[in-house]
Chain A
Amino acid sequence: MHATTLEADIVVVGGGSAGSTAAIRAQQALPRGRVVLLEKAHIKRSGAIAIGMDGLNNAIIPGHATAEQYVKEITMANDGIVNQRAIWEYATHSFEMINQLDAWGVKFQKTASGDFDVKKVHHKGSYVLPMPEGYDLKKILTRVLKRAGVNVINRVMATRLLKDGDRIAGVVGFDTRTGELAVIRAKAVILACGASGRLGLPASGYLYGTYENPANAGDGYSLAYHAGAELTGIECFQINPLIKDYNGPACAYVTGPLGGYTVNAHGNRFIESDYWSGHMMLEFYRELHSENGPVYLKLDHLAPETLTEIERVLHKTERPSRGRFHAGRGNSYATNMVEMHISEIGLCSGHSGSGVWVNERGETTVPGLYAAGDMACVPHNYLLGALTYGHLCAQNALEYIANVGDGAALDEQIAAERERIFAPLSRPNGIPHHQYEYKVRRLVNDYLQPPKSAHRLTAGLNFFLRASEELNEVGAQTPHDLMRVMEGHFIRDCAEMAARASLYRTESRWGLYHYRQDFPTMDDERWFVHVNLKKDEQGAMQMLERPIEPYIVPLDRSELREYHNLRIASAPQSSELKRPTAPSAERGLPA
């Protein structure tokens, strides 16, 4: 089988938001050809924002918000389990990225006086900056990447990282169309592979009907893990409120500032804030499963011109097929409330706090390995966090490579990975990838979906260990199949991590994201720590704890609990299933 072999200084894996700014920044300082961007799709339409984004959800604009406020808000939203330095680094560098995007031609919503038109969606501060023409974002990034002269290699999927001793030394993968092996030696690798979005199975049973772009299968989580890097907060799942069945956002961040809000079946509000947090999701979940469910996004009270404005944004950006979904069901924003549901579980630091452990320099625990975007743990980092941290990672990787010489030959590692990648092709009649994937993800739903308990998590873990053996039965007939089989490895790895991390933290935290029925209270005495995991010397998954570094923006205990009070006081309800009441003696039993 043919192989592509390249030498570079920096390889960026993943050409979405974080990967684009990383490669652009790295190329500014290095000769042409020394920066390689690997993308398993095509950079013009890849990553979480393949079809653009309607706004920045965490913009810290001078005059509207401060870095201190933002760091405080995200510390609250993540129940205190944060590395504030990493959030601070974002908060103090992200406005530069907004100005950079502005210069590249991204259009932000401005007021009549020319100020950024910032909206309030979070519980406390105002950080949402609409981009009504955000459908162009990916095209703009692609143009800048090409102008910079980055060596972009599309349709190559990375499967393992190379190590030279403790250091990172490159990437191995394959072309998902030709089946050719790809080996890129490099001094530093920046992982920007997006979320683990194909973990839970959507309630529809449709494998690719995920909230995340299904290309984001947890590749980066698995690559970092097998390279020996630590991951953190994996038990803090991503679960989002989405349009039922369609499984895309409705989207409260766009409609909220225009007067839309979340209600129960009676049309009554029950949550104070539509900002996506674990505590908001817990109230959402309780309402959904109570006698007041389903839950809806209410827009039918808005003026026709407001609805036109909402459609103009929602049906052109992010998930534009929302319009034909509603039309297909005979619904419209003017006449029907939008029925909402909760997403399948995933891992994503862009929305919650589960990812590869990174510091404020974007460094993982492996020298030369950096991570940015949804897969790197800087909680609630969203799109602007990905763009900002991509840039920061590249800047720091450039400093790092200045002191790294050429590495040793790694023929053994490469040969072993070649064998692992192509093994499924020797089983053309093996189990098809979609059946394997369906089974693992169905088991994820059965055993990992909150509310969690030790018995269910343990049973799930045993199935995921068995699924490791089952991978030896999965076959592939084409390079496309092979891509899906190797994604099956990523998905299974993430399922095992999610089970083990959830079992380890014997308390409840982050609302629904880590709700343990057997440990229903939050226990700061024991669990005010990061729960990390890594692959140990023997190849086993090892759990460890890291202390929370002293805060640089202090919060007192009551402030830390402010996200716990998201239910509207006048809207109490109980989701407990009650025993049917026995008929009273006077009425008697039917004969």
Chain B
Amino acid sequence: MSELRDRELAKAAQALQVGNAQTTRRFDVPVVVDLEKCITKCRICIDSCPVDCLAVNPETGKAHMAFDECWYCLACELDCPKDAITVKIPFLIR
């Protein structure tokens, strides 16, 4: 019994000292960009976003939602000159 307690005390002390470990996770995000319609190098939606959650996707050169931080305010959708954006209600509150 005391062996178990000693081990737990040692581990509790160690847990305060060790560094951080990470993992990654997929997120479903509400801003959907139609790549056919979206204009390369246009940054209108990226400038519109009040929380700066859009960015150019380096893989496609087109806009995408880079951070799971959308307020579903529709600024990007309303300001897009090509009607390339559809904002869905985020899944958690849909």
Contact = CB atoms under 8 A, between A and B. Distances in A.
Pair from one complex? yes
Indicate the member of A210, A475, A480 with the most B CB atoms within 10 Å.
A480
A205 B22 CA distance: 22
Interface string A310-347: 00000000011100110011000000000000000000
Contact of A429 (B19, B49, B52, B93): B19
Interface string B38-79: 000000000111111000000000000001111111110011
A421 B89 CA distance: 34
A153 interface: no
Contact of A207 (B47, B48, B69, B72): B69
A325 B73 CA distance: 12
A246 B52 contact: no
Contacts of B11: none
Nearest to A177: B52
B48 A429 contact: no
B70 to A, nearest CB: 6
A106 interface: no
B92 A51 contact: no
B63 to A, nearest CB: 14
A51 B73 contact: yes
Contacts of A204: 92-93
Given A321-B89, A328-B94, A41 B73 contact: no
B47 A214 contact: no
B53 to A, nearest CB: 8
SS class of chain B's interface: helix, strand, loop or mixed?
A: loop
A155 B19 CA distance: 33
B93 A245 contact: yes
B84 interface: no
A206 B89 contact: no
Nearest to A138: B75
Contacts of A480: 52, 67
B37 interface: no
Interface stretch (A42-50, A121-129, A352-360): A42-50
Contact of B48 (A44, A209, A210, A431): A44
A430 interface: yes
* Chain A residues touching B, range: 35 or more
A214 B89 contact: no
Given A45-B79, A46-B50, A247 B93 contact: yes
A214 B71 contact: yes
Contacts of B78: 51, 320
Contacts of B82: none
Given A42-B48, A46-B50, A324-B89, A208 B20 contact: no
Contacts, number: 88
Contact of B51 (A215, A246, A324): A215
A46 B50 CA distance: 5
Contacts of B93: 204, 206, 209, 245-247, 325
A103 to B, nearest CB: 25
Indicate the member of B50, B51, B88, B94 with the most A CB atoms within 10 Å.
B50
Given A46-B50, A155-B52, A51 B69 contact: no
Contacts of A177: 52
Interface string A453-490: 00000000000000000000101000010010000000
A429 B90 CA distance: 28
Contacts of A483: 52
Interface in A23-41: 41
B16 to A, nearest CB: 11
B33 interface: no
B80 interface: no
Contacts of A245: 93
Contacts of A210: 71
A449 interface: no
A49 to B, nearest CB: 11
B47 to A, nearest CB: 5
Given A50-B75, A319-B73, A176 B52 contact: yes
A431 B74 contact: no
A208 B69 CA distance: 6
A431 B52 CA distance: 21
Interface of B: 19-20, 22, 47-52, 67-75, 78-79, 87-90, 92-94
Which 7 residue pairs across A and B have the least CB separation, nearest first?
Answer: A45-B75, A206-B92, A41-B50, A245-B93, A45-B48, A204-B93, A321-B72
Given A208-B70, A209-B93, A213-B50, 13 more contacts: A45-B50, A46-B50, A176-B52, A204-B92, A206-B92, A208-B69, A208-B71, A209-B71, A209-B72, A213-B51, A246-B89, A325-B93, A480-B52
28 contacts: A41-B49, A42-B47, A45-B48, A45-B49, A46-B50, A51-B73, A51-B74, A51-B75, A51-B78, A154-B47, A208-B51, A208-B70, A208-B71, A209-B71, A209-B92, A213-B50, A213-B51, A214-B69, A214-B71, A215-B50, A321-B89, A328-B89, A328-B94, A329-B94, A429-B22, A475-B20, A480-B52, A483-B52
Interface of A: 41-42, 44-47, 50-51, 154-155, 176-177, 204-210, 213-215, 245-247, 319-321, 324-325, 328-329, 429-431, 434, 473, 475, 480, 483
